[in-house]
Structure 1
Amino acid sequence: MRSERMRKAALGAALIVPLGLLHAWVLAEICIGLVDVLFLLESARGRGFAWARQPWFLAAMLWWGWLLLCSLPLPLLGTGGAGWRMGFMQALVIPRFFVLTAALQGWVLSTPGARRAAWWMLAASSVWIGLEAWQQYLTGSNLFGDHRWSDGSLTGPFRRPRAGALYAHLLFATMLPPVLAMLGRRGAGWRGVGWRAGAVGLAALGVVTAVLIGQRMGVVLSAVGLAGTALLVPQLRRVVLVLVLVAGAVLLATPVISPPTYAKLVGETYVNLRHFTLSPYGELFTRASVMGLQSPWHGWGYNGFRVLCPLARFGGGLPALGIAPTALGLGACNLHPHNFYFQAFVDAGIPGVGLFVGMIAVWLATLARGLWGRPEPLRVGLLIAVVTFVWPFGSADEFPILYMSGWLFFVFGLALAAREEAVTSWGRRLPVDTSKPLRHLG
């Protein structure tokens, strides 16, 4: 009885995490800490620590251990400049995210009702971001009075342009279960047509929203999600084709319906790609490469890029590749390299990026197991969400920083919990026949 009360308390705290990640990061941090503490107490009381021997957890701890070693302020490693000031203490507490994931997987979300509640929190977050983006698009400001960002992108419910990537991360995890459920509803005449039209309309609305938000990575990650859906769910391939055509039509229409979106997605993207090495992202990646190459075996420790990037020794460019020297005035330095893999290279050298890639590979293999033969919609959507978080090509936030990576580990925990029994948003198994396309899509 006491164990169940502890689990329900941890569940209550876990369900607050998405709300905190949206608008109250301190609240999210407190709730994550509470879930971790309750889970560790429960493990110590008799549940045991078998969860810590899982391959995904061991891979994460191996990467973290090397990163922590590289972040120690040891003169022989040359990491003292970034060590105690910021990096070491922040690296020290990274495992709180891994413990949260394990707690969600095997304890907090161990019942269908708990998993259903967690999915609803993700769905509510996705709908909230989408509604606020549309309000900002139609009225000029969101509920809090914030307008479009200076680059033309919609900020949704946020003050800064954080909506695009986050919306894309959550989109397929929250959209696929209801879309497939609606397509699975059978009815004669107009009733059946209505369910099918509603499913396609819901999916189209989600993808169009991602385009109109007007952030490049949000659009790219949505395209990754569409490709993953077509690969894993054969029944949806025709729907995906429709969604691609709709998204393309909306993008072509943006010069008329949303000129700032066109300027951001097309105009600025063309300029950046044409002169990539001189763009802010090119400057960041070049600087990160130079830093990593100057310390290839242990890097510069966690937050080494933030602390040491401005040093003149890292501004020489990559002459062997014909890449010119970087300049602080062009954006060569920032809080982080804006890419998980460049960050892993700068923080912990070649071994660090190798362990990071291995960790991601183990995570994805764990989540993908069994999906090829039976693509349960919730599991497919959650796998796509994790893939979009760890997608290596493009800009990303710092790893693992709370306001974005907190979402990753919440989704990862729910995905692990859903492996044994896929559930829809109302808690019943959704039959999916993968042997042939659904008749109503023919």
Structure 2
Amino acid sequence: MMIDNTPIWVRYSQTALPWLLPPLLLFSRALADLTVLLSGILFLIWSFQRQDWHWARNPWFRLSLLFWAYLLFVNLPLSVDPSDSLLYAITFMRWPLFAAALAYWLLTSRDRQKHFLIALLFTSLFIALDTGWQYVTGVDWFGIPIAPENRLTGPFRNPVAGIMMVRVEFILLLAIAVFSSLQSIYRQVLFIVGILLSFLLLIFITGERMAFMLCVSASLLVLLGFALQYPARQTLVVLGGLLLILVIIALMFLLPETSQRMVFSTVEKLQNFRESDYGQVFRGAFEVWQHYPWFGSGLHSYQAVCAELGVMANTAIACTHPHNLYLHLGAETGIVGVSLFCLMVLAIFHQALASLWRQKSWLLLTICSAILLLSFWPLIGGISLLNNWVAALVWLGVGWALTVDLQHSSAEHSA
């Protein structure tokens, strides 16, 4: 019998962290970063004590190590400001390590998965109620006022409530694979449609266009998965889709000012994308990339390089970030960096979805696809995924998708 020499505080952390992760990751940028780092360190201690490093041999993790090595030994020396890029290059690896910690340590137990999802549900409910109160009264429970252009902040102080919530919405849907009480088809329909409609309403009132488009698109993908999983119940899916459309139409009539921003101005921006604020920011990022095409200007250098080159000088837009993951990576890590990152992302998709595809688990396949696409789809614009706060939720989603794969791979091999 193998004696478990893992320190007791590591084992206690394994029990406590699933309860604590949702509030720690959602409510504070600093706490989110510390939580990710601590989880990775504890996971390494656990792996060392057990001499269990099988997880590090997965292709996606090896590719993340290769991308990290590129950042440290190629991109960093060529950075326009190596001293500023150093910390960001060194600490990148905490993100893949966090996803590995979730999949191969923290969420290996069905009970711990339940604990996490229960905590996430109550955390999301608190944020939804706080944001709703802000919509009605003008300030949230902490006295934070509505942001300019009537965009809601909820408890986040910045207008990011919508994009933060859409990143955890589809993780909640994985409860159908965890809780035995959600195994019947009708309960799954009620649960999925209830979650989708609740988050659709919440994200609509926040005034965040990109979050709303992502929410609607991912919701339709999940409904497609349900139709494929239960072809005899496609009527339920059609009804769910119609209900989704009716809710959107009702919101447009009941909340005309919000609809103007969320629907009509979005259509206008897409029709005139080149001259829109997104189009100008994307062109600016591409211009920065052209100055450092192969190896980039170095991590965390975009804002300074953009200002120095004056690429946004003829616009009313400041140099902040490119609002697109791949343009951001291109500008800061070059063609080589983007290529390595894309290989890592493709390996994550393959690892997370291959067993679900083979087993024709279409509903879980589309839910996990939605979780990953919400982070890695190339056309997504908005808050930078290299931002610590958002990155924590991105890699949380990766960890959950890998967890689902592990469970189904085990079932596949034992069959």
CA distance in 2, matches of 1:329, 1:181: 55
Determine which of 347, 350, 365 is the counterpart of 1:365.
350
1:53 aligns with 2:38: no
Aligned counterpart, 1:402? 388
- Give the deviation of 1:382 after TM superposition: 3.9
Corresponding residue number in structure 1 for 2:333: 348
How far apart, in 2, do the equivalents of 1:293 and 1:285 lie? Answer: 12
Q: 2:365, 2:112 → 1: CA distance?
A: 15
Please state if 1:392 is matched with 2:378: yes
**What residue in structure 2 maps to residue 432 of structure 1?**
none
2:36 maps to 32
Where in structure 2 are there 5+ consecutive unaligned residues? none
Partners of 1:53 and 1:362 in 2: CA distance? 12
Kindly tell me: are residues 121 and 400 of structure 1, through their superposed partners in 2, closer, same or farther at Cα, counting changes over 3 Å? farther
Shift of 1:130: 2.5
Aligned residue pairs total 399
Corresponding residue of 2:82? 83
Distance in 2, Cα, partners of 1:195 & 1:108: 25
TM-score under structure 1 length normalisation: 0.80
CA-CA distance at 1:200 after TM superposition: 4.1
Distance in 1 (alpha carbons) for counterparts of 2:151 and 2:61: 37
177-186 vs 46-55, which moves further: 177-186
- Give the aligned partner of residue 433 of structure 1: none
Corresponding position of 2:108 = 110
1:229 to 222, 225, 228: 222
Identity of aligned residues (%): 26
C-alpha separation in 1, matches of 2:245 and 2:188: 24
Q: Secondary structure at the match of 1:362?
A: helix
Q: Distance in 2 between matches of 1:118 and 1:97?
A: 19
Map of 1:265-304 to 2, 5 A cutoff?
A: 265-304=262-301
User: What do you get for the CA RMSD once the two structures are aligned?
Assistant: 3.0
Tell me which amino acid in the other structure corresponds to 1:330.
A
Instruction: Tell me the CA shift for residue 346 of structure 1.
Output: 0.5
Question: Is residue 21–residue 35 contact of structure 2 (8 Å, CA) maintained in 1?
Answer: yes
Q: How much has 1:54 moved relative to structure 2?
A: 0.9
User: Which residue of structure 1 lines up, in the alignment, with residue 69 of structure 2?
Assistant: 65
Q: Which runs of 5+ in 1 are unaligned?
A: 187-191, 316-325, 423-428, 430-442
Pair 1:16 & 2:20 matched: yes
Distance 2:384 2:363 in 1: 29
Q: Distance in 2 between matches of 1:213 and 1:58?
A: 39
Report what 2:119 is aligned to: 121
Q: Secondary structure at the match of 2:355?
A: coil
What TM-score, normalized by structure 2, do the two folds share? Answer: 0.85
Paired letter, 1:158: F
- For 1:83, give the aligned amino acid: P
Aligned equivalents of 1:220, 1:351: Cα separation in 2: 31
Please state whether the residue corresponding to 2:384 is helix, strand or coil: coil
CA deviations over 1:94-130 (Å, ceiling 9, x no partner): 1112222222221222211112222223323332333
State the one-letter code of the partner of 2:22. P
Distance 1:197 1:28 in 2: 32
2:24, 2:32 within 8 Å by CA — same for their partners in 1? Answer: yes
1:53-81 CA-partner distances (Å, limit 9, x unpaired):
211101212222223344424xxx4x3x3
Q: Pick closer, same or farther for the CA change 1:198–1:271 going to 2, 3 Å.
A: closer
Cα separation, 1, equivalents of 2:211 and 2:137? 22
Whole-Å separation in 1 of the counterparts to 2:46 and 2:180 = 36
Asked whether the equivalents of residues 182 and 195 of structure 1 are also in contact (C-alpha less than 8 Å), the reply is no
Range with bigger deviation, 108-117 or 341-350 = 108-117
The structure 1 residue matched to 2:90, chosen from 68, 89, 92, is 92
Closer, same or farther: CA 111–184 of 1 in aligned 2, 3 Å: closer
Q: Residue type of the partner of 2:259?
A: Y
Write out per-residue CA displacement over residues 153-194 of structure 1, whole angstroms, 9 at most, x where no aligned residue.
Answer: 3323322111112222222221363599777548xxxxx8x9
For residues 273-317 of structure 1, the C-alpha deviation after alignment (integer angstroms, 9 at most, x for no partner) is 3432332222211111111122211111111212211123x53xx
